[in-house]
C-alpha cells in the first residue's frame, strides 16, 4: 500500500494504523534518506502499540528497546544502523538476537547495511521525500485492514 502524507503528524498517524496489523515477531525495515521520516514513522508505531514515552533515534547505541505494557507485543526494538560501519560489524552488535525475539516487533533504520542478514519476511517500508513536508510512504503489507 502507498500513501502521501503532508506532515509529520500524518506520518505518525498512518504508522499508528499500520501498528494495528503487526504481530509479535514482525520485522520492519525502513528505507529512505536522512530526514525522510523513518524515525517519525517509528514514533507512530510506538504510540499505536501503546508506548507512552518519547521516541527519538538511538544515538550512542544501535538499538533501543521500548517496553510495551499492553497487548501481545512485549517490546518494540528501534534499531538505527546509521553509524554502523562495515558489514562485518553486525556479528558483534547483538542485532541478530533482537530479530529472533518472538515477542517483539523490530524496526530497522538503514537496513541496507545488513541487507544480506535481513530475514526474507521483513516488511519493507519505503519513505520518499517529495517536498518540505510531503512524503510518499510505501508499505509492502498486502493483507492489512486499514
Which spans of this chain sit near ligand ADP (rule: CB under 6 A)? 5-8, 10-11, 32, 34-40, 109, 133, 135
Q: Which is nearer to ligand ADP, 113 or 135 (CB)?
A: 135
Dihedral of alpha carbons 8, 12, 13, 14, sign: positive
103 burial type by CB count under 10 A (0-12 exposed, 13-18 middle, 19+ buried): exposed
Q: What distance in Å separates the CA atoms of residue 96 and residue 144, rounded to the nearest whole number?
A: 27
Q: Is 107 in the site for Mg ion (CB under 5 A)?
A: no
Q: Which is nearer to Mg ion, 39 or 107 (CB)?
A: 39
Closest by CA to 117, choosing from 80, 87, 78, is: 87
Q: Which is nearer to ligand ADP, 10 or 75 (CB)?
A: 10
* Span of 3-11, 13-21, 49-57, 125-133 interacting with Mg ion by CB under 5 A: 49-57
* Span of 1-9, 31-39, 83-91, 136-144 interacting with Mg ion by CB under 5 A: 31-39
Choose the contact partner of 59 out of Mg ion, ligand ADP, none; CB within 5 to 8 A by kind.
none
Per CB under 5 A, contacts with Mg ion among 55-84 are 57
CB-based contact 44:14 (threshold 8 Å): yes
Q: What distance in Å separates the CA atoms of residue 37 and residue 136, rounded to the nearest whole number?
A: 10
Using CB positions, name the residue nearest to ligand ADP: 37
Amino acid at each position: 500500500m502507498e500513501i502521501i502524507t503532508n506532515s509529520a503528524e500524518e506520518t505518525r498517524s498512518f504508522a499508528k494504523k499500520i501498528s494495528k496489523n503487526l504481530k509479535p515477531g514482525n520485522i520492519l525495515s525502513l528505507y529512505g534518506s536522512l530526514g525522510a521520516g523513518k524515525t517519525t514513522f517509528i514514533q507512530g508505531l510506538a504510540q499505536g502499540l501503546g508506548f507512552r514515552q518519547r521516541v527519538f533515534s538511538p544515538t550512542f547505541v544501535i538499538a533501543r528497546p521500548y517496553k510495551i505494557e499492553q497487548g501481545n507485543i512485549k517490546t518494540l526494538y528501534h534499531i538505527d544502523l546509521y553509524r554502523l560501519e562495515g558489514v562485518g560489524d553486525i556479528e558483534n552488535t547483538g542485532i541478530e538476537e533482537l530479530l529472533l525475539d518472538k515477542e517483539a516487533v523490530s524496526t530497522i533504520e538503514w537496513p541496507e547495511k545488513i541487507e544480506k542478514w535481513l530475514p526474507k519476511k521483513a516488511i519493507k517500508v519505503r519513505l520518499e521525500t517529495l517536498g518540505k513536508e510531503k512524503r510518499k510512504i510505501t508499505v509492502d503489507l498486502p493483507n492489512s485492514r486499514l
